[in-house]
Amino acid sequence: MTFNRYRRGLFITSFLAAPVILYLVYVISPNVQAFYIAMTDWRGVSATPAFIGLENFERLLGDNVFWKAVSHNAALLVLLPVITIVIALFFAFLLNVGGRQGVSGIRGSTFYRVVFFFPQVLAVTIVAVLFQQVLRPDASGMLNGPLMALGINPIGFLSDSGLAFWSVLGVLVWQAVGFYVVLFSAGLASIPKEMFEAAQIDGAGRVSMFFRVTLPLLWDTVQVAWVYLGILAMDVFAIVWVMTVQQGGPDWSTTVMAAEIYRNAFGYFRFGYASALGVVMFLFTVGFAILSLRLSRRERIEY
């Protein structure tokens, strides 16, 4: 009996060894190296960078651009999940339970799901270039062109420091909401129709049905969506770098930590300082995920 258990353990270990080794080499090892590089003055060329301890982190505290990037990431951590989840829940509820009978989707819901999901098939850089043209502050812009034709001054969606951040947020929501409409629709499809019918018989309206039936039963899915969107809010480098002017907006109004990591590493060749930024970004992301999972924990509803 013991021998068979030993053979089974050896068999399982032999299969797990290769992926575990690859994970350690290509995931864990680079992260550990990043923590070490963050405490050096490495500029990407010297073989033996000088160890400077926590100087890079002390320098971060006095870097105004860094604090602007942190504030933008923090705002995205709150606004992007909230806005995207609210819109996605609304459309998913409408597509699945918004029909005339109150327990079925509206006509053509399958087509609408495809339309909502369409932005997901576009590469992030394509989305950035597309909206860069849509938001152009001249007559060739899809929004400003009609305004100028009516004699209205063009709006600097990306050139105005007061609007640039909100323009980026709008693009991020537009790109993300379709995926979560489909995700929430899949969750709604797994809820028995009898539960909606019972709520309807009890006199529940659409709003009451949403908050008393739909949202509690979708809470686990919403929790996962919140964490994924929080991680997305920390990783908006491509949109900011490609779409906004000066790769960070006027007066650094759209810059984020990922953009500053790239700028310092490959623009200023301050790899040690960029690694310190990366460590801070890593701690932000992990902290957000842990905090979100703990705060949104609740009793699972069985049905």
Write the CATH number for 76.
1.10.3720.10
- Residue 87 resides in a domain: yes
- Residue 271 resides in a domain: yes
Here the tokens at position 55 are: 């100087």
Total number of domains constituting the chain: 1
102-105 contacts at long range (C-beta below 8 A, 24 or more positions apart): 102/196, 102/200, 102/206, 102/209, 103/193, 103/196, 103/197, 103/200, 104/193
- Residue 3 resides in a domain: no
Here the tokens at position 49 are: 């960078």
- Residue 142 resides in a domain: yes
| pTM score | 0.84
Write the secondary structure of 20-73 as one string of H (helix), E (strand) and C (coil).
HHHHHHHHHHHHHHHHHHCCECCCCCCCCCCECCCHHHHHHHCCHHHHHHHHHH
Other C-beta atoms within 10 Å of 87: how many? 18
- Residue 177 resides in a domain: yes
Question: Residue 1's pLDDT is what?
Answer: 52
Give pLDDT tens digits along the chain (303 positions): 565 676 777 777 777 888 889 888 888 888 888 899 999 988 877 777 888 989 999 999 999 999 999 999 999 999 999 999 999 998 888 887 765 555 566 777 778 888 888 888 888 889 999 999 899 888 888 888 888 888 888 898 998 888 999 999 999 999 999 999 989 988 888 877 777 767 777 666 677 777 777 788 888 888 889 888 988 898 899 999 999 888 888 889 999 999 999 999 998 899 999 999 999 998 888 888 788 777 766 555 554
The range of the structural domain enclosing residue 187 comes to: 57-295
- Residue 22 resides in a domain: no
- Residue 252 resides in a domain: yes
- Separation between Cα atoms, residue 266 and residue 184, nearest integer Å: 40
Burial of 100 (0-12, 13-18, 19+ CB in 10 A): exposed
Contact 135, 141 (CB under 8 A): yes
- Residue 91 resides in a domain: yes
